[in-house]
């Protein structure tokens, strides 16, 4: 069972991706938590000014987005964005890319940990120059999926490691938050 703090960060991350307000039931389904927990998280988020409650659901506020960015930075994540194009190469319905501030020391162990946390698949990449490579063998992503490589090049500036995590819902795709944030943040 995930901690409320991880659920809170995952909820803010999901709201940050949403173009429209999301309801409590949708949040509960996508994050695989109960509606009562979502209600409690939303009440706290509203009190902190992290979400705004609207007629059609809730949206993240600028203050909430700023808090999420700071928390993810503490977890070693420089950026996070949806990558629907990765579904062709991996699995699931939802895919998230995490641009990391450091190199992934053990790609296979990291991938296995993400799968244990619910991801149906994960792709770990290193960007050097204008190309992405798959560690530990160093194969080029372009040889597997040129469209995904082009999308990532447009979104990731500089030499970073990138993890793409996919799953049937956002809880699975947000497995990296569940993996790294409890270790880095003192909730």
- How do residues 152-178 score in pLDDT, each as one tens digit? 999 998 888 999 999 999 999 999 999
pLDDT for the residue numbered 157: 86
- How do residues 44-88 score in pLDDT, each as one tens digit? 999 999 999 998 899 999 999 999 999 999 999 999 999 988 888
DSSP code of residue 76: T
* Helix count and strand count (H, E) for the chain: 8, 8
Stretch 134-149: mean pLDDT: 90
76-184 has which fold?
Gyrase A; domain 2 (3.30.1360)
Task: Specify the DSSP element, H or E, that contains 67.
Answer: helix 62-74
pLDDT, greater one: 84 or 15:
15
Stretch 95-108: mean pLDDT: 93
4-71 has which fold?
Arc Repressor Mutant, subunit A (1.10.10)
Using DSSP's 3-state secondary structure scheme, residue 74 falls into helix
Q: Tell whether the model's pLDDT for residue 90 goes beyond 90.
A: no
Q: Tell whether the model's pLDDT for residue 184 goes beyond 70.
A: no
Each domain of the chain, given as residue ranges in start order, spans: 4-71, 76-184
- The dihedral over CA atoms of 7, 12, 14, 19, expressed in degrees to the nearest 10, equals 160
């Amino acid at each position: 069972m995930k901690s409320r703090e991880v659920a809170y960060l995952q909820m803010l991350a999901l709201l940050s991706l949403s173009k429209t307000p999301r309801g409590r039931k949708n949040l509960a389904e996508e994050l695989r938590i109960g509606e009562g927990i979502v209600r409690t998280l939303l009440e706290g988020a509203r009190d902190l000014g992290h979400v705004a409650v609207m007629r059609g659901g809730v949206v993240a506020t600028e203050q909430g987005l700023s808090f999420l960015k700071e928390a993810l930075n503490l977890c070693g994540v420089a950026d996070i964005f949806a990558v629907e194009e990765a579904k062709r190469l991996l699995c699931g319905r939802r895919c998230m890319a995490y641009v990391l501030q450091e190199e992934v020391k053990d790609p296979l162990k990291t991938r296995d940990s993400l799968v244990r946390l619910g991801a149906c698949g994960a792709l770990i990449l290193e960007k050097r120059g204008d190309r992405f490579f798959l560690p530990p063998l160093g194969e080029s992503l372009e040889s597997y999926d040129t469209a995904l490589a082009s999308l990532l090049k447009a979104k990731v500036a500089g030499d970073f490691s990138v993890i793409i995590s996919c799953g049937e819902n956002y809880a699975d795709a947000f497995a990296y938050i569940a993996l790294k944030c409890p270790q880095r943040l003192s909730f």
